[in-house]
Structures are given as C-alpha cells and as structure tokens.
Structure 1
Amino acid sequence: MRTMPRGELVAAGGRRIALYRAGSGAPPVVLLPGAGLVGLEYDNLLQGAARLTTAVTYDRAGTGWSDDAELPRPAADVAGELRDVLAAAGIPGPYVLAGHSMGAVYARRFAQLFPDDVAGLLFIDPGHEDILKFLPPEVVALNEEMKPAWDDLPDLTPEQVSAAGAALRALYAQWPDDVREPLVEHRLAHWRTGLREGRNLETDVYAELAAGGPLPDVPLIVLTAADVNPVWAQHMPPELLARAHDGVRALHAAVAASVPRGEQRLVEGASHQYLHVQRPAAVLAALQDLLGMYRLNRR
C-alpha cells in the first residue's frame, strides 16, 4: 500500500480502512466523501469540525488509501463497513453524519439501517432516487444521451493530466503541502474510481434506498448548491437550465420535508462537486446547528 500522508489504518471486515480524525467531544461528526473523492479532500471540514467536537472522515474500501474492494458496492455494505470502522476505531455513536453527493446516499442508508446510531444528518447536495420526477422531460432525455460508455473512456492525455493537476492544486491551494501533493497525485492516477463507484447508483442503490424505509426522527439539514451545474450549462439553453435547477431545489426541499425536523439551505457561490471547498463556512454552520440541536435535546 502507498504511504498515507496522514491518518491511520483501521482493521474492519478483513480490510484496512484509512481513517482521519481530529478534535474531541460528542456527538462525533462523520464526513462521508462523494464518489471519486477521498477523506483528505475534506480536511478543511475535518479541522473546522474538530473545533466543535470529535471529527472523522475516511476512505471507503476501494478508494483512497484503504484496501481494495470490488466496485461498485451495495449501499448496505458501505454503511455496515462504516459502522464497523467507527467501532474498531473506538469512536462511539450516535453520530452526526455529513454526506456529500453519493456520500449522502450512503449516510441515508446508514440511518435506515442503524437509526439509533444517528444524532443528526447533513446532506450536502445529495442524490436521490426521485430526481427524474423533478426534472423537465427534456433534461431527462438529455441526461440519457450524455451518459458515456464508461468502459470505453480513453486514458487521459499528458496535456489533460497537466491541466487537471494545475486545476486541483489551485482548488486545494489552502491544504498543507504534505496533504495537497499526495492528494493531487492520487486523483490523477485514480480518476476512474468515482466512475466505478457510482455505476450502480441508478440501477441498484436508488432502489435499495427506496425500499429501505424512512429516515429516523433526527434533525436534518439539506444543503443545495445554488450555482449553475457546469456540465448542464454546456448542453442546455438558459431557460431549460433554470428549470433543471428549479427541479433539483424542489427535490431537496422535498427531502428536507420528509422528516419532522428537516430544513433546506441554498448555498450561493457553490457548485455540486466542490461545495465543501468553495463554501466550507456554510457546511460548518450547518454542523454546528445540528450539534446544538442534539445537545439541547439531551439536557
């Protein structure tokens, strides 16, 4: 295994899982990366949340510095692995789970399976099985047309690698040198991981979630990226683009309304993939509010 720039390896389920932790206190905040992203990409949130409580993030099996696993995986396997890792690391629940994109999907599955282990939920621009019901028919059709043949994607050219490396170094300019460089090298070498991890989202995982039952009655905040989706913007006229974004906002509002203590917050100046980098203060404010609600109810 490559040398980890930070963190520790925790044995769980016959694998070594890369775990990053900081801070102290309860309930712990657990950050779940989006597909193709790894724990070190949330180091800003980890350090910020550590000022509030125990903060944890990790690399799922098959990603980052964790042991390999066949991808994609059922969401229940991912949720069970996280529970085992936290137990093996001596981090007791209940937890405030903060999942980004596909990480929010896995956080939701964790909450369905282990409701007593959840103190609060933060979904950062989450995916959801009902998304197509909220999008205009033209967007649904366009989405199908734009799906590439994942197995046929060519390797990146040297020019693409150079451009991507420069963009990632700029994105993570505030990260410490000992974290940023290994992180960029990892992303460039393993850019297909996110494609593999998300391949079963629409075919299997969404159905798994739909059949998994409701969320527990805990505080939930849904953060919605309010900036334009750059991929959609390349293929849609402005009027259709606006309707597509209205659909996503309506979906997230419905997710928040699905529990008694749910709330949606729009995050200006943030796009889907890097909301946590572009607007970390919004994420940390939501975490602080969730922690406060849990602690107030415990008095």
Structure 2
Amino acid sequence: MSHHTTEGGPERADRTPPLGRYYEVGGRRLLLHRSGSGSPTVVFLPGGGTVGLDYLNVQRRAAELTTSVLYDRAGTGWSDRVDLPRGSAEVTDELHELLRVADVPGPYLLVGHSLGGLYARHYATRFPEEVAGLLLLDPAHEDYNAHMPPELVEMWNAWDPDEALPAELPAELVEFYRDELTLNMAEWPEEVRGPLVDRHVSPEWLAVGFQEARNLDQLNDELRQTGPMPDVPLIILTATGIDAFKRAVSQGVPEALLRAEIEGKQRLYTAVAESVSRGENRLLDDAGHATLHWRRPDAVAQAISDLLDTIVH
C-alpha cells in the first residue's frame, strides 16, 4: 500500500492522536508528546513498525527525571503521510527541525530502538554538539549481517516483503498481534491504548512497518559514509530472549539460528560499546527484540538514569 502526497499538500494523518500535539515541519504535521522538565532532554526514536506512543511507559519514567519527548516520524503513526522508505539524512534532518520548531531544549539523550537506534547514531554523528549521550535498544547497525551466520542472512535476503504481507492478513494473525499488544501495553491509559492497538492492527500501519525498512542497504551505506560516532556516554541494551513476536516473524527459522543471531548481535553491540570511552552493553535475558521496552521498562529507566548521572557530573 503506497501513499502519495495529494495536490493540496501532504496526505493528512488519520484521526486525532490520543496524546501529544502537532508541529509543522517541511509542510507536514508531526506528532510530538512532551512531559517533565530539566536538561538534558530524553528523546525517543521508535523502531520500524512502532510509533512514539509505544514508548509511553518508558517516556513517563524518563519524565520523572528530566524533559522527555516522543514523536512519530513522517509517514508513521499519527504524523502526516509521506512516501516511504526515506533516507536517514532526511529522517534526521526532520527530527532536528522538529526539536527546533517545538522548542525542545538540547542537549539530547537519544533513546533509539531497532531502526530508531540507527537513526539515533546518525543524528549524533551529524549533530554531535547537540547530543549528550545515547541509549540504544537492540539497534539496527550497518555491520549487523556481517556478525550473523551466512545461512541466516541468505534466508533474510530471500524474503520478499511484498509476498510476506498479503492484502488481507489472516484473522488469527491479527488477533494474535492485538492480544500481544494489549497484554504488553496493560499499563497504558485506556484512552491511549485502545486507539493505539486498533491502529497497529490496521492494514495501513502494518504496511508502514514493512515500507519504512525496505531501504536498509541504503541506510547502512549512509551510516558507513558519515564517519565515526561522537565519543559520548553510551549504553546498549541487548535482548537475548526470544519472545512471541520474534517467533511469529521467524517461522521456519531453526532455533539454533535464532540463538546464533543473538550471539552475533551480542558480539557486535559489545564492539560498538567498546568503540567509545564510556560505553557499556547490558544483556537482558528476559526480553525479546520487539518487546524490550515493554518487558523491561525498569532496565530502560535505569539506563536513562545512569546516563543522565554520567552526563550531568
């Protein structure tokens, strides 16, 4: 399902967001939700297929410590539609401008999950004077596949998202997804959780998750060409568990390969943490890739608190 901008400007986001407000960036309305006060500001960058409000539980905990914001990239969530996929420079320029327009004070502690982790590192490399620290939750990385078993990479390369996402998903798959989301977001206020889960299981939002990460090779090339990450305090949280979401999207992948992927990313993330002077890789054995911030909000909040301590002192 592709989205094209209309003659009168960008396609408008659907429905009123349950939380947050709109700011205009490049002629598009982007959703941003802010709470807390103080500096540095914690900024959450969602993973592919997720949206800002998916991180409400950890954003609220961060807001007890300092200013804390979450947002939806253009083309995702409640922000205006845009053709996907996009390059990382465009995505990070957009966030840079959004923080300026919304008057969100720097410096920033960027919290990036999965694809958002790649964008967070790119932002820090492009705007080093604005970034005080990084928290990466199972981040996408340009060297990810190099640390994986070749047979697993072959399986990934053979996977065609157009074939993988039929026009209509089987009802039992949609119900599985709805149940998992509802369970994992049990502590969200109902007026947020209801619309959030409904939109997540809609064909449009499901398609967006696939569209946004289609150009991963291009994104990886952009990161390689940008130069080294600034030497800022860094914590990586590595999910070493295999949850229901992972099993659902990895059907047909042998257990041994799923374990080998975890070992490979552990080696990669340890190397990334060691590439800066104040870097650390923390392993979470009771969380999976997609559900890390839902299953272990305490670990995310602790890492934010530890980084703030490091930055402030």
| TM-score, normalised with respect to structure 2 | 0.90
Give the gaps of 5 or more residues in structure 1: none
Write the distance in 2 (CA, Å) between the matches of 1:191 and 1:237: 25
C-alpha RMSD of matched pairs (Å)? 1.7
Over residues 251-270 of structure 1, what are the superposed CA-to-partner deviations in whole Å (9 max), with x where a residue is unaligned?
11111112222111101210
Residue 248 of structure 1 corresponds to which residue in structure 2? 265
What pairs with 1:282-297 in structure 2 (closer than 5 Å)? Answer: 282-296=299-313
The answer to whether structure 1 residue 174 and structure 2 residue 191 are counterparts is no
Q: CA deviation at 1:196?
A: 0.6
Q: Which amino acid aligns with 1:114?
A: F
Q: Distance in 1 between matches of 2:189 and 2:90?
A: 33
CA contact (8 A) 2:108 2:130 kept: yes
Percent of residue pairs bearing the same amino acid type: 47
Q: Give 1:208's aligned residue.
A: 222
**Matches for 1:250-269 after TM superposition, within 5 Å:** 250-269=267-286
Q: Residue 62 of structure 2 aligns with which residue?
A: 49
Shift of residue 233 of structure 1?
6.2
Measure the CA separation in 2 of the matches of 1:97 and 1:166: 30
1:194 is aligned to 209
The 5 A counterparts of 1:268-283 are 268-283=285-300
Aligned to 2:42: 29
Q: Is the 8 A contact 1:19 1:57 kept in 2?
A: yes
Residue in 2 that maps onto 1:15: 28
1:122 aligned residue: 135
Q: Using the alignment, how far apart are the partners of 1:238 and 1:170 within structure 2?
A: 25
- Cross-structure match for 1:134: 147
Instruction: Check conservation: 1:232, 1:241, Cα contact below 8 A.
Output: no
Instruction: Please give the alpha-carbon distance, in whole angstroms, between the structure 2 residues aligned to 1:91 and 1:42.
Output: 18
State the TM-score, normalized to the length of structure 1. Answer: 0.94
Shift of 1:208: 0.2
* 1:110 corresponds to: 123
CA distance in 2, matches of 1:134, 1:233: 18
Does residue 2 (structure 1) correspond to residue 15 (structure 2)? The answer is yes
Matched, 1:185 2:198: yes
Query: Taking structure 1 as reference, are residues 230 and 90 closer, same or farther at Cα in structure 2, changes over 3 Å only?
Result: same
Instruction: Provide closer, same or farther for how the CA distance between residues 211 and 175 of structure 1 changes in structure 2, counting only shifts above 3 A.
Output: same
Q: Measure the CA separation in 2 of the matches of 1:150 and 1:54.
A: 42
Q: How many Å separate the matches in 2 of 1:50 and 1:169?
A: 23
C-alpha separation between the residues in 2 aligned to 1:11 and 1:148?
31
Contact 1:122 1:286 in 2 (8 A): yes
Q: Distance in 2 between matches of 1:241 and 1:37?
A: 22
The AA in structure 1 aligned to 2:302 is A
Shift of 1:147: 4.1
User: Which is further off, 150-159 or 112-121?
Assistant: 150-159
Residue in structure 1 matched with residue 79 of structure 2 by the alignment: 66
Distance of 2:225 and 2:251 partners within structure 1: 35
